[in-house]
Amino acid sequence: MGSESGLDARETAERVARRSYGKLVAFLAASTGDVARAEDALSEAFAAALSDWPVNGTPANPEGWLMAVAKRKNIDMARRRKTADSAGDHLKLLMGEIGAAAPETEIHDERLALMFACAHPAIDPAIRAPLILQTLLGFDAATIASAFLVSPAAMGQRLTRAKQKIKDAGIPFHIPDRADLPDRLDAVLAAIYAAFAEGWPDAAGTDSGRRNLAEEALFLGRLVAALLPHEAEVLGLLALMLHCEARRAARRATDGAYIPLADQDTVQWNTQAIEEAERLLLEASRLSAPGRYQIEAAVQSAHAVKRLTGRADWEAIAKLYDALAALSDSPVVAVNRAVALAEVHGADAGVRALDALADDERLRRYQPYWAACADLLARAGKRDAANEAYEQAIGLERDPAVRAFLQKRQAALRPK
């Protein structure tokens, strides 16, 4: 192992963090049931890596090195507490350290067990999916709050309480019996999809906070599908993600410019991923247990028809969003339904559907709502209102390429 620059060591640590964060937290937390302490120990281990690796070189097994250091940090934390309550934990940690495998040994993957622990009935249903996102993928509270349309402060407090609940209630880290799966599966699937949705906007892989999240979500989706191959919604979610992922290469021009779905070159869509998604969706339909993810996957399937016919099946898409709206009061579904209605019945129909959502506070800072309003208002000839909606959408957009696309659309509203 030769020495490395601080930049090289930091980049290596970041790569390991993205690839292994959830795996390491899950392994550490499984021994004590204390998720927060596992996260703290791993954070200290990463800090130690940034000090050690530039001097001594990156170890042959960075993941094993981090695990060994994090386990020692975990023990140090227990020692510092020196309370009767921590004695049992301390003993378990010491015994685990004595019998621990060497850093070169493969670390057992406990991620599924941690996901189902976070989805335990004792945890508030509203916080289960966000908790999985933070513990498995290391998302901060602000990122999670944005995905779930709540304030960062409220999300941070809820996450802290949930981790304490896991510890205090002694919630076990294991995959539940089949009879207990339905109550927990929804949260697990919601977290996987939220992770995918957070990584999805970064088509070029340039945002370090989102990089590889879509791939990680697909991995977790396949992991759950391997565990539950006869659960229709598991197959539906995997089909949904594959349909979306199939279009990744078509979403940016060679200069990095954003290309909306309507303008994408279908030749660039990944046919293999689409065909796998279609097989999964067909398999799910045979299980006769329709649900949200299967319907959303069917929406994407109706978009994928464009590669064969030259046009998405908007009539089917509108009907599918009607079905989704009947299952959920999700404002995201309502926005997408309005867009579909505009394609079938004209821009005015879409504008009316969006007007009905104007008082929903959850949409105030939801960029796709304002972008949809701007586009449909412009198509309906309401330039002033469209311009105001574009201002909102541009101000909320994080991606420079999408922001430039919206600015170009806004500029087209001006009189020639």
| Domain stops at, among 98, 119, 148 | 98
Is residue 35 in a domain?
Answer: yes
CB 366 within 8 Å of CB 389: no
Give the structural domain span for 55.
6-98
What pLDDT is stored for residue 134 in this prediction? 84
pLDDT-based confidence at residue 97 (cuts at 50, 70, 90): very low
16 Cβ partners below 8 Å, 6+ apart? 49, 62, 63, 66
Is residue 90 in a domain?
Answer: yes
If you compute the radius of gyration of the chain from its CA atoms, what whole number of angstroms results?
Answer: 23
Is residue 196 in a domain?
Answer: no
| Residue 411, domain CATH | 1.25.40
Is residue 405 in a domain?
Answer: yes
Is residue 284 in a domain?
Answer: no
pLDDT-based confidence at residue 397 (cuts at 50, 70, 90): very high
What pLDDT is stored for residue 381 in this prediction? 95
What pLDDT is stored for residue 100 in this prediction? 45
170-174, 179-183, 226-230, 259-263, range with greatest mean pLDDT: 259-263
16-20, 47-51, 91-95, 97-101, range with greatest mean pLDDT: 47-51
What pLDDT is stored for residue 212 in this prediction? 61
Supply 28's token pair.
């550490």
pTM of the model: 0.74
| Domain stops at, among 98, 131, 164 | 98
The number of domains in the chain is 2
| Domain stops at, among 98, 127, 151 | 98
For the chain, the maximum distance between any two Cα atoms, rounded to a whole number of angstroms, is: 77
Is residue 314 in a domain?
Answer: no
What pLDDT is stored for residue 84 in this prediction? 46
pLDDT-based confidence at residue 202 (cuts at 50, 70, 90): low
Q: Say whether pLDDT at 196 is over 50.
A: yes
Mean pLDDT for 6-18 is 70
According to the 3-state scheme, what is the secondary structure of the chain?
A: CCCCCHHHHHHHHHHHHHHHHHHHHHHHHHHHCCHHHHHHHHHHHHHHHHHHHHHHCCCCCHHHHHHHHHHHHHHHHHHHHCCHHHHHHHHHHHHHHHCCCCCCCCCCCCHHHHHHHHCCCCCCHHHHHHHHHHHHHCCCHHHHHHHCCCCHHHHHHHHHHHHHHHHHHCCCCCCCCHHHHHHHHHHHHHHHHHHHHHHCCCCCCCCCCCCCHHHHHHHHHHHHHHHCCCCHHHHHHHHHHHHHHCCHHHHECCCCCECCHHHCCHHHCCHHHHHHHHHHHHHHHCCCCCCHHHHHHHHHHHHHCHHHHCCCCHHHHHHHHHHHHHHCCCHHHHHHHHHHHHHHHCHHHHHHHHHCCCCCHHHCCCHHHHHHHHHHHHHCCCHHHHHHHHHHHHHHCCCHHHHHHHHHHHHCCCCC
Is residue 264 in a domain?
Answer: no
Report how far residue 210's alpha carbon sits from residue 196's, in angstroms, rounded to the nearest whole number. Answer: 9
Give the pLDDT confidence of 134-181 residue by residue, as tens digits: 887 777 888 788 777 788 899 999 999 999 999 888 888 877 777 777
CB 261 within 8 Å of CB 368: no
Is residue 152 in a domain?
Answer: no
